[in-house]
Amino acid sequence: MSVIQAVGSFLMIAGTVLSVLAAWGVLDFPSALARMHAATKSASLGLGLIAVGAGLGAASWGLTGIGVLVAAFLFMTAPITGHLLGRAAYAAGQIDGLVHDGLAGEAPPKAQITVDTDRTLSPIRWIALVLVWVLLWRDLSAGTLLGGAVVASLIELIRRADQRRDVNLVGLVRFFANYAWLVVASNLRVAWEVITPNNDQIEEAIVAVPLQTRSVATALLVANAISYTPGSLSMELSADPWILYVHVLHFTSVEDVQESVSKLEVLAMRAISNPVPVDETSPPS
Amino acid sequence: MEVTITIVQALLAGAALLAIVRALRGPTLTDRMVALDLVLLLFAGGLAAQGARTGSAVFFPVLIVVALVAFASTVLVARFIEWRDTK
């Protein structure tokens, strides 16, 4: 067995352990949202690890590439399913036993995401699209590259940009480095919660967190990052003022939650710099 | 490698059983959907492990399809829960 295959085996085992803990949490946790914290996030990370590990275990870079694609896909979709299911369960009145409910009272005005037809071209995005195409075909021939270039150009032409923004690569790397640590820590926390027999430490709450950013892209990055972290889940985003409603599994105090979200937000703001704010009339709160 | 993959697949199957118990118990539709979403993800994990065992590329595109189906179905049911219960 080569070193690469050993790494693959390790990743697969780690992913399996996460998945088993997620399933145990789904069976054991006391409420629908707590179960979701265990399931959608831990299991997505688990499947991502298994997929990458399987590619390495098969000792094939092409298959590893597809594993990475699957992991990236799960990173983007798991928060969306968590958010939609959580919001639906709350709207349907299936959530009770909250220690603190920042969403109670009248429904907040929903954030309106305006889309104009300003078409901006970004070389980084174009290269990323070609890369995905090459990974999907597991082939680096001239024909594949040409096909990828055509498809990427078509997507770039028909997509609509919401606003001009620049991605700061160093900021993005720093964001994901910090974020990876957060994901590991919170997965360990939920894992501990699952293997300890009593669920005393679970104190569910919904906390309203005012956002400083007025950029849709930054808010999206923060909301997604929060939702991919087990133990916290974005429930709703309201405009005027911009408030993110976060459901947490281990509630200590409103300030603690707001502080940890703000840390993530500052990192995200450095990753995506926005020369033109969406709404200049309302000052940051 | 063979042994590792067998253990991985056995554990994933056990996890899927736990999730199916939750899907049967409910009590709300949200619980069932969370559990079924998890079953699909675990199934995809088993497929990926099988791909590592055989070294065959066939399993990996299927992996993408299963992940897509899990996502789309969960979104659909979430919209349904919201529509049905807040009318």
Q: Residue B67: which pLDDT band, with cuts at 50, 70 and 90?
A: confident
What does the pLDDT read at residue B14?
Answer: 92
B34 and A15: CB-CB below 8 Å? no
Name every residue whose Cβ is closer than 8 Å to that of residue A221 and which is 6 or more positions away in sequence: A175, A268, A271, A272
Q: Residue B17: which pLDDT band, with cuts at 50, 70 and 90?
A: very high
* Domain residue extents for chain A: 3-108+165-273, 123-158
Which is more confident, A101 or A64?
A64
pLDDT tens profile A94-147: 676 676 776 766 666 666 665 544 556 667 777 888 888 888 777 778 888 888
Stretch B39-68: mean pLDDT:
85
* Chain centre to alpha carbon of residue B7: 18
Which is more confident, A281 or A2?
A2
Stretch B37-59: mean pLDDT:
85
Which ranges of B1-87 does DSSP label H, i.e. alpha helix? 2-25, 29-54, 59-85
Stretch A216-227: mean pLDDT:
79
Task: Work out whether strand A100-101 and strand A243-248 pair parallel, antiparallel, or are unpaired.
Answer: unpaired
B45 and A15: CB-CB below 8 Å? yes
Please name the helix (run of DSSP H) or strand (run of DSSP E) that holds residue A272, with its range, or none. Answer: strand A272-273
Please say if the pLDDT value at position B56 is more than 60. Answer: yes
In this structure, what token pair is assigned to residue A213?
A: 């950013």
Task: Look up residue A40 and give its DSSP letter.
Answer: I
B33 and A93: CB-CB below 8 Å? no
Task: Look up residue A236 and give its DSSP letter.
Answer: E
* Domain residue extents for chain B: 2-85
Please name the helix (run of DSSP H) or strand (run of DSSP E) that holds residue A195, with its range, or none. Answer: helix A169-195
B62 touches chain A (CB under 8 A): no
Please say if the pLDDT value at position A163 is more than 80. Answer: no
Please say if the pLDDT value at position A159 is more than 80. Answer: no
Distance separating alpha carbons of residues A91 and A84, to the nearest angstrom: 10
B81 and A88: CB-CB below 8 Å? yes
Q: Of the given ranges (A7-11, A190-194, B15-19), which has the lowest mean pLDDT?
A: A190-194
Query: Å from B2 to nearest chain A CA?
Result: 10
pLDDT tens profile A14-46: 889 888 888 888 888 777 777 887 777 788 888
Which chain B residues contact residue A62 at CB under 8 A? 57
Q: Which of residues 30-49 of B touch A (CB under 8 A)?
A: 30-31, 33-35, 37-38, 41-42, 44-45, 48-49
Please say if the pLDDT value at position A280 is more than 50. Answer: no
B14 and A20: CB-CB below 8 Å? yes
Query: Å from A75 to nearest chain B CA?
Result: 11
Mean pLDDT of chain A: 76
Q: Determine contact, residues A180/A228, Cβ cutoff 8 Å.
A: no
B79 and A88: CB-CB below 8 Å? yes
Percent of chain A's residues with pLDDT above 90: 0
Mean pLDDT of chain B: 85
B86 and A92: CB-CB below 8 Å? yes
Q: Which residue among A12, A35, A81 places its CB closest to the CB of B8?
A: A12
What does the pLDDT read at residue A285?
Answer: 39
What does the pLDDT read at residue B13?
Answer: 92
CATH 1.10.287 fits B2-85, yes or no: yes
Stretch B34-38: mean pLDDT:
88
B66 touches chain A (CB under 8 A): no
Q: Residue A160: which pLDDT band, with cuts at 50, 70 and 90?
A: low
